[in-house]
Amino acid sequence: MIVLGIESSCDETGIALYDSEKGLISHVLHSQIELHAEYGGVVPELASRDHIRYLVPLMEQALQQAGLTRDDIDGVAYTAGPGLIGALMSGACVGRSLAWALDVPATEVHHMEGHLLAPMLEENPPEFPFVALLVSGGHTLLAHVTGVGEYKLLGQSLDDAAGEAFDKTAKMLGLGYPGGPVLAKLAEQGTAGVFKFPRPMTDRPGLDMSFSGLKTFSLNTWQKLKIEHEGQAEKLAQAQADVARAFEEAVVATLSIKCKRAIQQTHCKTLVIAGGVGANQHLRQQLAKMMKKEGGELYYPRIEFCTDNGAMIAYVGCLRLMAGENKELSIDARARWPMDELSSIQI
Ligand code: KG4
Ligand code: ZN
């Protein structure tokens, strides 16, 4: 079965083709970074319009890359939530209409399920059961995964998601959008240990998290440093990198402590990181070290499948369509969509 996957939940238009026999056969992506950069963050209306502009041309490109035509498509999968409602509607309308026109089944995919199962696209995929750390711009959660659609929530961020905290802290430091990768790059120039930021909610049991206070802590530190180093551009630049480093270290250490607890609590030997913040090198290194000590193993998708992409949607869509799912001829998109509403399927 050849499935066309469509991702349009935020600021990336992703299209991919997944073949149940051969695996991923093509994937293309258009990033809206340049479009939103001058506003310092995603402008939802501009995002929706840009998805509409790119969806069909990207679809043609993906088909061409795979040497296929529209008639080869056996099913369509599109992200139906959670995300920006207008952006989701763009992909959902195109996806559902295409399936109707081709007379093939269509299925809705949960964006976070896409992220969670993205490591399955790699050569050496993890086996169930595992603990998943989902760290994106909109969500930060730990789940015990026992199968496709079987996600038991272990803990989550009670305020900002880790990616959101990266983005907001980057903005406060005067760095560009998207904040995560820019802040991580600057942190490389920072000196470890110059500042020690708190590790929120690690002094009490439990797997919930909070990153909002860390963002405020960074802002206060940065404002003091700006006064202290006024007129000393070089010193201020180094201080900025040191703050970035301390912030990144605090997020990474906090996530690592929570992951270790989740591994010990579930007795799982496999940890999976997924979502945009999963692209962070320090986070990967720290979690790999922690898992080694725990006698287990860490899995993650390649960098381009950590952030939003069509491949993860085509993959999950293929599993769900093969299990017989077929969305009726109506178009629903959900800004919010709890993961526990997903049905489990046998693969
Ligand atoms: O999964 P994703 O592409 O979109 C959502 O579903 O939200 O995640 C985007 C988030 C953004 O907050 C971005 O700043 C963050 O992932 N991110 C990173 C890195 N690359 C992307 N955060 C830290 N370090 C990175 N290298
Ligand atoms: Zn995402």
Domain-by-domain residue ranges, the chain? 2-117+305-341, 127-300
CB 145 within 8 A of CB 128: yes
Question: Is the fold of 2-117+305-341 the same as that of 127-300?
Answer: yes
CATH, range 2-117+305-341? 3.30.420.40
What are the b/e assignments for 23-48, b being 16+ CB within 10 Å? ebbbbbbbebeebbeeeeebbeebbb
Examine residue 82 and say whether the peptide bond preceding it is cis (omega within 30 degrees of 0): yes
Cα separation, 289 vs 305, in Å, equals 22
What pTM does this model have? Answer: 0.96
Nearest CA to ligand 1 atom 13: 180
For residue 161, the ligand 1 atom closest to its alpha carbon is: 12
pLDDT (0 to 100) of residue 87: 98
Does the beta carbon of 278 sit less than 6 angstroms from any atom of ligand 1? Answer: no
CB 134 within 8 A of CB 143: yes
Rounded to 5 degrees, φ, ψ at 236 are: -65, -40
- DSSP bridge pairs for 155: 142
Does the beta carbon of 276 sit less than 6 angstroms from any atom of ligand 1? Answer: yes
Does the beta carbon of 242 sit less than 6 angstroms from any atom of ligand 1? Answer: no
- Collapse the DSSP code of 290 into the 3-class scheme (helix H, G, I; strand E, B; otherwise coil) and give the result: helix
Rounded to 5 degrees, φ, ψ at 35 are: -65, -40
Indicate the average pLDDT of the chain.
97
CB 195 within 8 A of CB 222: no
Tell me what percent of the residues of the chain surpass a pLDDT of 90.
Answer: 98
Does the beta carbon of 10 sit less than 6 angstroms from any atom of ligand 1? Answer: yes
Instruction: Scan for tokens 């120039």, then name that residue.
Output: 189
**pLDDT tens profile 151-209:** 999 999 999 999 999 999 999 999 988 899 999 999 999 999 999 999 999 999 999 99
CATH, range 127-300? 3.30.420.40
Rounded to the nearest angstrom, the gap between the alpha carbon of residue 113 and the centroid of all alpha carbons in its chain is 10
pLDDT (0 to 100) of residue 59: 98
Q: Which pair of structure tokens corresponds to residue 156?
A: 């989550």
Which one has a higher pLDDT value, 40 or 166? Answer: 166
Best residue for ligand 1 mutational test, from 136, 245, 283 (most atoms within 8 Å of Cβ): 136
Cα separation, 235 vs 225, in Å, equals 9
**pLDDT tens profile 57-105:** 999 999 999 999 999 999 999 999 999 999 999 999 999 999 999 999 9
Does the beta carbon of 81 sit less than 6 angstroms from any atom of ligand 1? Answer: no
For residue 185, the ligand 1 atom closest to its alpha carbon is: 26
CB 319 within 8 A of CB 345: yes
Best residue for ligand 1 mutational test, from 9, 166, 300, 304 (most atoms within 8 Å of Cβ): 166
Cα(308) to centroid(ligand 2), Å? 5
Nearest CA to ligand 1 atom 3: 307
DSSP string covering 254-293:
HHHHHHHHHHHHHT-SEEEEESGGGG-HHHHHHHHHHHHH
Does the beta carbon of 280 sit less than 6 angstroms from any atom of ligand 1? Answer: yes
Say if residue 347's pLDDT is above 90. no
**pLDDT tens profile 217-241:** 999 999 999 999 999 999 999 999 9
Q: Which pair of structure tokens corresponds to residue 288?
A: 């790999």
pLDDT (0 to 100) of residue 177: 85
